Amino acid sequence: MKTIIVVFFGFFLIDVLEVQAYYHDDIGIPTATKIKALEEAIQANGTINIENRIIGGEIAFNSYPFFAGLVISIYGTSNKSICGSSLLSSNRLVTAAHCDHDGSKSAYEFEVVLGSNQMFIGGEHFVTNEIVVHPYYDHQHFTNDIAILYLHQNVVFTSTVKPIRLPNDGELTNTFVGCSAIAVGFGKTSTYQEHARNVLSHVKLQVIDNAECVRFYNFNEVTANTICTSGIGMAGPVGTCNGDSGGPLFVYNNREPVLIGITSFGSKHFGCEAGIPAGYTRVTSFVNFIKQHLY
């Protein structure tokens, strides 16, 4: 029994490191390529695909105006990668640091897509190369996995483009354990899904205690600056998946969305449908860093 536990923990440690080191090659670029091809085919045929793209998720038609897709240009390749992000103000967004550089490949430009349920078609597009990665970001362990994107022009707020609120002073000590949260993204709905989907999706998740999350990962990945969600919902496995990186995890407070997490890591080997928790950058731990770059 002890031997099994040791191997289990060690396997997950390798699992997480692999995701971090090769995000763009293994996940971002292949997902972007499939989504772009699908959207172009849909545009040519004049039809819209409305299938889900987040594990256990539902379609999110203009429901989350703070969500922004990122089409990422990578050094050394003409292929694009993708991530998600959250609009914080008229010219600032927050995303995961590994969307900029994952230890293997680095980005040189971001195309920010706002007000659209699709990544390449529709919405408003803003190009920027200005990103501030947390100074203590560690791509080997997913720690401090947060970055701020600067836009060179202000976006105009509309019903489909609005910022999300950061936790206020009274919420900074809230762990949100037991709360029902929502994740939004362009990731797959199935680990074994062969074809990409093309519509923004969301999923309801339960925030769990970090001690439960550590059972599946490692103390190096799950720190006080990490927030985790359960991989099991009432209808079965739920969670973020390939392509959801950098996107928001949020709760509602008096019907107002509050950003509490940034999609960071999950299980690569066992997949998105194994009922394994997912890890996010805990926003309350980085409010000061965010505010330093907000204005």
CA atoms within 13 A on the CB side of 270: 22
Q: Are 91 and 154 in contact, with CB atoms under 8 Å apart?
A: yes
Which residue carries 């002073």 as its tokens?
169
Whether 245 is catalytic: yes
Q: How far apart are CA 20 and CA 227, in angstroms?
A: 17
Q: From the DSSP assignment, how many helices (H) and strands (E) are in the chain? A: 5, 16
Chain-centroid distance of CA 270 in Å reads: 19
Catalytically annotated residue among 145, 244, 264, 267? 145
- The conformation of residue 171, written as its DSSP 8-state character, comes to G
Q: How far apart are CA 58 and CA 85, in angstroms?
A: 19
Catalytically annotated residue among 201, 245, 264, 267? 245
Q: How far apart are CA 102 and CA 265, in angstroms?
A: 12
Other residues' Cβ atoms within 10 Å of the Cβ of residue 251: 19
- The conformation of residue 67, written as its DSSP 8-state character, comes to E
9 SS3 class: helix
Catalytically annotated residue among 15, 81, 98, 230? 98
Partners of 83 in the beta sheet? 70
Q: Which residues are catalytic?
A: 98, 145, 245
